[in-house]
């Protein structure tokens, strides 16, 4: 036996997607729920479909369900079988991964994000209880996905209510295309929200460095983002919570092109 308490022969048949073998091996004392868990975990939609024919059914709603954690790992083929059998994508949640959309965003799986939205998942993810908002993954420098961001916005993601400072973060990361898209969709150019975002791990006076998108772009030396924000009406004289100006932080961090932009193009003086 293994951790699932299924006979090894049954587990082998699940992993290979052999429904005929499962039919031959199945006995009433073997747990259909355990077979369904393994089928989802190993992305075997035919085996999961077989479980339904034998009388198994998914829970209507769940919180921290082992089956749902397995299903999230199985991707689109497993989700499709579940939805075909009446599974409500909005009725399941885990405190580690959140809902299906949050998990897909966090893993950077644009195909799953698209599929979920097309099949009725709400455009606002319900994130897990720990970690950062999953929508941030669409603009992070190491995991950017303009396509995922576009999908969320296309399906009604509310930047005003649920943006969590995404415009500030895009500017800080130097993600010009994402920043432009967000501004086009109405993100507040003077937003200062940044939540618990670990800005480049600098950790020097992190609370005092809270500022607008323009301030963060100037701080990080992202001159193209700074140009865009200024063209869109950002306050060139904005200061962070500690009183340091955009020009002041650019000078402090030796971003000469940003300093030139502020002083020579926009006439900012200290």
- Give the model confidence (pLDDT) of 149-175 as tens digits: 999 999 999 998 888 889 999 999 999
Query: What was the pLDDT predicted at 52?
Result: 98
Instruction: Quote the tokens at residue 94.
Output: 């885990």
Statement to judge: residues 19 and 78 lie in one domain: yes
Q: How far apart are CA 212 and CA 188, in angstroms?
A: 10
pTM for the whole structure: 0.90
Is residue 184 scored above 90 in pLDDT? yes
Q: Please state, rounded to an integer, the average pLDDT across all residues of the chain.
A: 92
Q: Please count the structural domains in the chain.
A: 3
Statement to judge: residues 168 and 153 lie in one domain: no
pLDDT digits (tens, 9 = 90+) for 68-86: 999 999 999 999 999 999 9
Instruction: Quote the tokens at residue 259.
Output: 């300093």
pLDDT digits (tens, 9 = 90+) for 94-132: 999 999 999 999 999 999 999 999 999 999 999 999 878
Statement to judge: residues 185 and 257 lie in one domain: yes
Statement to judge: residues 188 and 128 lie in one domain: no
Statement to judge: residues 52 and 73 lie in one domain: yes
Query: What was the pLDDT predicted at 1?
Result: 47
Statement to judge: residues 35 and 115 lie in one domain: no
Among 125, 140, 157, the domain boundary falls at 157
Statement to judge: residues 118 and 80 lie in one domain: no
213 in helix, strand or coil? helix
Is residue 59 scored above 80 in pLDDT? yes
Among 87, 112, 133, the domain boundary falls at 87
> Phi and psi at residue 269, in whole multiples of 5°?
-125, 150
Q: How far apart are CA 214 and CA 227, in angstroms?
A: 9
Q: Does residue 203 form part of some domain? A: no
Bridge partners (DSSP) listed for residue 63: 93
- Residue 134, sorted as left (phi over 0), alpha (psi -120 to 50) or beta, turns out to be alpha
Instruction: Quote the tokens at residue 173.
Output: 């990361």
What range defines the domain where residue 143 resides? Answer: 88-157
pLDDT (average), residues 87-93: 95
239 in helix, strand or coil? strand
pLDDT digits (tens, 9 = 90+) for 230-243: 999 999 999 998 89
Q: Does residue 181 form part of some domain? A: yes
DSSP letter for each residue of 154-191: HTT--HHHH-TTHHHHHHHHT-HHHHHHHHHTT--TT-
pLDDT (average), residues 224-229: 98
Among 87, 115, 149, the domain boundary falls at 87
Is residue 40 scored above 80 in pLDDT? yes
pLDDT (average), residues 239-266: 95
Structure confidence at residue 207 as a pLDDT band (50, 70, 90): low
Statement to judge: residues 185 and 247 lie in one domain: yes
Residue 118: CB atoms within 10 A of its CB come to 10
Statement to judge: residues 262 and 177 lie in one domain: yes
Spatial contact of 51 and 40, defined as CB atoms under 8 Å apart: no
Q: How far apart are CA 10 and CA 21, in angstroms?
A: 8
Q: How far apart are CA 106 and CA 56, in angstroms?
A: 30
Q: What angle do CA 262, 263, 269 make, to 5 degrees?
A: 105
Query: What was the pLDDT predicted at 206?
Result: 55
Statement to judge: residues 139 and 187 lie in one domain: no
Statement to judge: residues 75 and 136 lie in one domain: no
């Amino acid at each position: 036996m293994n951790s699932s308490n299924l006979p090894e022969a049954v587990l082998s048949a699940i992993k290979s997607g052999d429904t005929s073998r499962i039919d031959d091996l199945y006995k009433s004392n073997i747990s259909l729920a355990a077979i369904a868990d393994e089928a989802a975990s190993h992305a075997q939609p035919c085996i999961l479909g077989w479980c339904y024919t034998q009388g198994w059914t998914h829970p209507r709603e769940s919180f921290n369900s082992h089956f749902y954690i397995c299903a999230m790992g199985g991707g689109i083929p497993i989700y499709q079988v579940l939805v075909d059998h009446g599974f409500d994508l909005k009725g399941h949640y885990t405190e580690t991964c959140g809902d299906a959309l949050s998990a897909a965003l966090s893993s950077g799986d644009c195909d799953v994000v698209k599929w979920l939205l097309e099949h009725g998942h709400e455009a606002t993810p319900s994130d897990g209880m720990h970690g950062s908002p999953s929508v941030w993954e669409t603009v992070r420098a190491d995991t950017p996905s303009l396509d995922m961001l576009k999908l969320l916005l296309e399906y009604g993601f509310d930047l005003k209510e649920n943006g969590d400072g995404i415009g500030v973060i895009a500017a800080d990361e130097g993600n010009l295309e994402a920043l432009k898209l967000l501004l086009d969709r109405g993100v507040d150019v003077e937003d200062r929200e940044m939540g618990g975002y670990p800005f480049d791990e600098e950790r020097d006076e992190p609370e005092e460095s809270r500022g607008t998108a323009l301030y963060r772009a100037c701080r990080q030396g992202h001159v193209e983002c700074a140009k865009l924000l200024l063209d869109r009406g950002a306050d060139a004289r904005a200061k962070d919570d500690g009183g340091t100006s955009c020009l002041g932080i650019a000078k402090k961090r030796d971003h000469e092109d940003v300093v030139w932009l502020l002083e020579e193009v926009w006439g900012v003086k200290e």
